[in-house]
Amino acid sequence: MPELIADLADLRGDCAQCFGLCCVALPFAKSADFALNKPAGTPCPNLQGDHRCGIHAELRTKGFTGCTVYDCFGAGQKVSQVTFAGQDWRTGSAEHTRRMFDTFPVVRQLHELLWYLTEALGLPAARPVHADLRKALEETERLTRQTPEELAALDVAAHRQRVNVLLLRTSELARAGGKKGKRKDRRGADLIGARLRGADLRGASLRGAYLIAADLTGADLRDTDMIGADLRDADLTDADLTGAFFLTQPQVNAARGSAGTRLPGSVTCPVHWATSG
């Protein structure tokens, strides 16, 4: 039986073990996030022969901010090295290439679920559902190791829905430690541009909330459920996200912050925070 995901470190993209799949398989449109249009299956013009980005250190200044807020959660290396056993899309047949590009987005979704499930298993408050979470983790990991044909036929949406039931229960348990009446439910809330400076959001559910360009300066976001929250251009300067869970690196990378922003250990402070002013 394959070894299961050990911790969140195993679910971070390793570009050295990937064939630049996110730079080829995925499409993007010319916008504030991308400097040009690129259809799915077409290599980005910045992709080099060794599958590395030629402007990686300059993505933001060159108009490719969208690339800096993307993470495959380790799906790139899984598809490259496991699903296709190290066979490059450049050297395979047209059918091989097509199957690789079709498989990558599916595995990426499964790996995102593995991130949430792994984090949930690390939450002591979720102990009542740890057994179910472990089963879901094992099943999701098993699915990632299927053949390209099996992955293409997989109903990812249905699997996500089943896992989400457990993640919702995990959220309820993890946030139950907050003061009664303080655990605000802002699930899916439209908070675009909202002025939440210094707001007390401790223990809140911000699942799927739209926090685009919201001012969260100095806000108390401890022990919040951040799954799917849109933090693009949100100001997290001096905000406290200690104990926040289901927060991913792409979400943090999309926001603005400072040295005073307190983050959970699952994510790191983006380099651009230190240079933004």
The CATH number, out of the four listed (3.20.20.80, 3.20.20.150, 2.60.40.420, 2.160.20.80), of the domain defined by the range 180-277: 2.160.20.80
Amino acid at 84: F
Of all residues in the chain, the percent with pLDDT exceeding 90 is 86
3-class secondary structure, 245 = strand
pLDDT classification of 272: cutoffs 50, 70, 90: confident
pLDDT classification of 115: cutoffs 50, 70, 90: very high
Mean local confidence (pLDDT), 191-205:
96
Mean local confidence (pLDDT), 152-178:
92
Asked if pLDDT for residue 277 goes beyond 60, the answer is no
In tens, the pLDDT along 234-251 reads 999 999 999 999 999 999
d(CA 208, CA 187): 6
d(CA 217, CA 235): 6
Of the candidates 257, 177, 192, which has an alpha carbon nearest to the alpha carbon of residue 218? 257
Q: Please provide the average confidence, as pLDDT, over all residues in the chain.
A: 92
Asked if pLDDT for residue 233 goes beyond 50, the answer is yes
Who's near 198: CB < 8 A, 6+ residues apart?
217, 218, 219, 220
Mean local confidence (pLDDT), 10-19:
91
What's the confidence (pLDDT) of residue 29? 94
Task: Point out which residues pair with 210 in neighbouring strands.
Answer: 190, 230
d(CA 178, CA 156): 33
Of the candidates 167, 224, 168, which has an alpha carbon nearest to the alpha carbon of residue 196? 224
Q: DSSP secondary structure string, 59-79?
A: TTTTT-HHHHT---TTHHHHI
Asked if pLDDT for residue 258 goes beyond 60, the answer is yes
Task: Delimit the CATH 2.160.20.80 region(s) of the chain.
Answer: 180-277
Of the candidates 262, 264, 260, which has an alpha carbon nearest to the alpha carbon of residue 274? 260
Asked if pLDDT for residue 148 goes beyond 50, the answer is yes
Residues 224-241, buried b or exposed e (16+ Cβ, 10 A)? bbbbebbbbbbbbbbbbb
What's the confidence (pLDDT) of residue 5? 53
d(CA 190, CA 212): 9
What's the confidence (pLDDT) of residue 271? 86
Residue 80 gets which letter from DSSP? I
In tens, the pLDDT along 20-51 reads 999 999 999 999 999 999 999 999 999 999 99
pTM value is 0.91
What's the confidence (pLDDT) of residue 1? 34
3-class secondary structure, 45 = coil
Cβ atoms of 29 and 66 within 8 Å: the answer is no
Pull the structure tokens for residue 132: 């179910």
